[in-house]
Amino acid sequence: MNLKLDRLKNFDGRKGPLVLLILDGVGMSRNVAGNAFQQATTPVLDRLFTSDLYLELKAHGKAVGLPSNGDMGNSEVGHNALGAGRTISQGATLVNEAINNKSIYNSIAWNNVIKAGKLGHTVHFIGLLSDGNVHSHIEHLFSMINKCVEEKISKIRIHALIDGRDVLDRTAPKYIEMTESLLSEINIRNQYDYQIASGGGRMNVTMDRYEADWDVVKRGWNTHVLGQGRKFNSASEAVNTYYSENPDINDQYLDPFVIMNEDGVPVGTIQDGDSVVYFNFRGDRAIEISRAFEEKAFNKFDRVFHPNVFYAGMMQYDGDLNIPNNYLVSPPKIDRTISEYLCNENIRSFAISETQKFGHVTYFWNGNKSDYISEELETYIEIPSDKIEFDKAPKMKAAEITAKTIELLETKKYQFGRINFANGDMVGHTGNMEAAIVACETVDTCVGKILEVVSKLNGIAIITADHGNVEEMFIEVNGERKIKTSHTLNPIPFAIYDSEYNSEYEMKNKDDYGITNIAATLLNLLGYKKVADYDESLIEFI
């Protein structure tokens, strides 16, 4: 494979480093109401975002390989796009294609799932029950349920993780009613036994990521596998009870619940011989529960009972570590990422973030590959995240990230660095406007400190984002203000801070430019031509 980069004839880059600052979850909207970024005091970013070297980019929908322009972007596809330099079909698109062409149902993994059911065991589905299309889609679940009916599988259990993050808060009853209605219709028509067995809010049960809090996964294990948790007669009853007990509770933080039969016994514990499908397609919040099912020498918590099941993910969530071993749809294969080219040119680089986004600036940036491309040329730094709800500490680890970034830059060893500030996204997801304003102001201060060092070193910085969130903290629905904790469809900022800028280049500006155009721009600013099949650069040399 040819990974050779060609030098530009009229621009060699700057003497100092090129630094990419990713403001996770900071989109651009002209609406002030509900816009934490607009309401925050951000003098550094305001100056950058009104300069001549500024434009706005698409970071959602087809621009990042998702099925439609109604699909919001997310950190995973955003960082895939940043690293790949071109649009790659992503999780939801791949699953849709596999369902439409039936390849998902011809896979070895699916046949093993069905085999367990035909032998009289239970088929279990665990995943996020919504149509947010970021981690999962309820229609994917319904397609598999209906295929089980076609295959004459008589017993299914659903373990429903409640969203309120990729969709509007307190919409859980809608998705539960849709599911219960489908299951009831199937049971009446076929005399089958299809039920919701357990569940809980996604941030409280099962869906931890980057080993930030294994207790989240433990609660999921206890709920789904062991049938331990608060007992209810139905999922609808569980959610409505939690709502009535705490009118301010957010769907994503709902406590675990277990559905009981008329004898007070859990309806859906996971037993030897069963099959389990984790139907989320996105990887970051799927890896840990997959490890709990698959690893024999698992030591993160006491599983009490480790059932011998056939376990499959919707996709393989980590190809390098083979997590899980069995999966229904192959993940996107992303080769020739920008870091592969830079390493081939012996360019030293670093990547830094706190735990919540560390995998994004490494694994996802590198095309869904774990570990270094070159340990000799790359340095990866993870700052451990606090184990606390992020609106309680909205500054998160931005100061620590900034201090470490400055330390790395001042060694003068690195020509390129990428930094992710998680504040806008993680605090934006809480729905807390006051905390989100603090998050934006914190990031602004930290960006300013890094730019001072970049300037001192005669370097360049690019300030951008991976998707929107914090700029739309609530919306109006039927005249009622609703807290919005999900990502957005808004464009993202893109600004160049060039300490030695002398009008050698200018910004292009097309309506269809997106986040995939950034990689070629990075290459240009390092003094290289864009790779042939990368999307075009955002700058034009004069």
pLDDT digits (tens, 9 = 90+) for 307-344: 999 999 999 887 657 899 999 998 777 999 999 999 99
Q: Which pLDDT score, from 0 to 100, does residue 137 have? A: 97
Instruction: Kindly report, as residue ranges, where domains of CATH 3.40.1450.10 are found in the chain.
Output: 92-329
Determine the Cα–Cα distance for residues 18 and 292; give it in Å rounded to an integer.
Answer: 40
For residue 267, pLDDT beyond 80: yes
Burial environment of residue 262 by CB neighbours within 10 A (0 to 12, 13 to 18, 19 or more): exposed
Residue 421 identity = F
Q: Identify whether the C-beta of residue 236 lies closer than 8 Å to the C-beta of residue 177.
A: yes
pLDDT per residue as tens digits for the range 79-130: 999 999 999 988 888 999 999 999 999 999 999 999 999 999 999 999 999 9
Determine the Cα–Cα distance for residues 535 and 542; give it in Å rounded to an integer.
Answer: 20
Q: Which pLDDT score, from 0 to 100, does residue 94 have? A: 92
Query: In terms of pTM, does the model score above 0.85?
Result: no
Q: Which pLDDT score, from 0 to 100, does residue 7 have? A: 97
Q: Who contacts 443 (Cβ-Cβ below 8 Å, separation ≥6)?
A: 23, 26, 42, 45, 398, 421, 423, 424
pLDDT per residue as tens digits for the range 54-79: 999 999 999 999 888 888 899 989 99
Instruction: Kindly report, as residue ranges, where domains of CATH 3.40.720.10 are found in the chain.
Output: 18-87+333-541
Determine the Cα–Cα distance for residues 228 and 525; give it in Å rounded to an integer.
Answer: 56
Phi, psi angles (nearest 5°) of residue 361: -85, 0
pLDDT per residue as tens digits for the range 160-199: 999 999 999 999 999 999 999 999 999 999 999 999 999 9
Q: Identify whether the C-beta of residue 338 lies closer than 8 Å to the C-beta of residue 515.
A: no
Supply 486's token pair.
């999900």
Supply 156's token pair.
């299914």
Tell me the mean pLDDT in the region 209-237: 96
Percent of the chain with pLDDT over 90: 89
CA 358, chain centre distance (Å): 12
Q: Which pLDDT score, from 0 to 100, does residue 1 have? A: 64
DSSP state of 528: B
Give the residue ranges of DSSP H helices in 296-335: none
pLDDT per residue as tens digits for the range 8-30: 999 999 999 999 999 999 999 99
Q: Which pLDDT score, from 0 to 100, does residue 333 have? A: 78
CATH code of the domain occupying 18-87+333-541: 3.40.720.10
Single out the residue of 121, 124, 115 nearest to residue 272, CA to CA.
121
Residue 482 identity = K
What residue ranges in 367-458 does DSSP mark as E strands? 378-383, 416-421
Burial environment of residue 443 by CB neighbours within 10 A (0 to 12, 13 to 18, 19 or more): buried
Q: Identify whether the C-beta of residue 211 lies closer than 8 Å to the C-beta of residue 223.
A: no
Would strands 230-232 and 257-259 be described as parallel, antiparallel, or unpaired? parallel
pLDDT per residue as tens digits for the range 396-448: 999 999 999 999 999 999 999 999 999 999 999 999 999 999 999 999 999 99
Supply 286's token pair.
């799927």
Domain over 92-329 is classified CATH 3.40.190.10: no
pLDDT per residue as tens digits for the range 273-297: 999 999 999 888 999 999 999 999 9
What is the CB-side half-sphere exposure of residue 38 using CA atoms within 13 A?
A: 14
Mean of pLDDT over the chain? 95
Supply 159's token pair.
């373990």
pLDDT per residue as tens digits for the range 382-394: 999 998 999 999 9
Active-site residues, by number, are: 75
Q: Which pLDDT score, from 0 to 100, does residue 480 have? A: 82
pLDDT per residue as tens digits for the range 444-499: 999 999 999 999 999 999 999 999 999 999 987 777 888 988 899 999 999 999 98
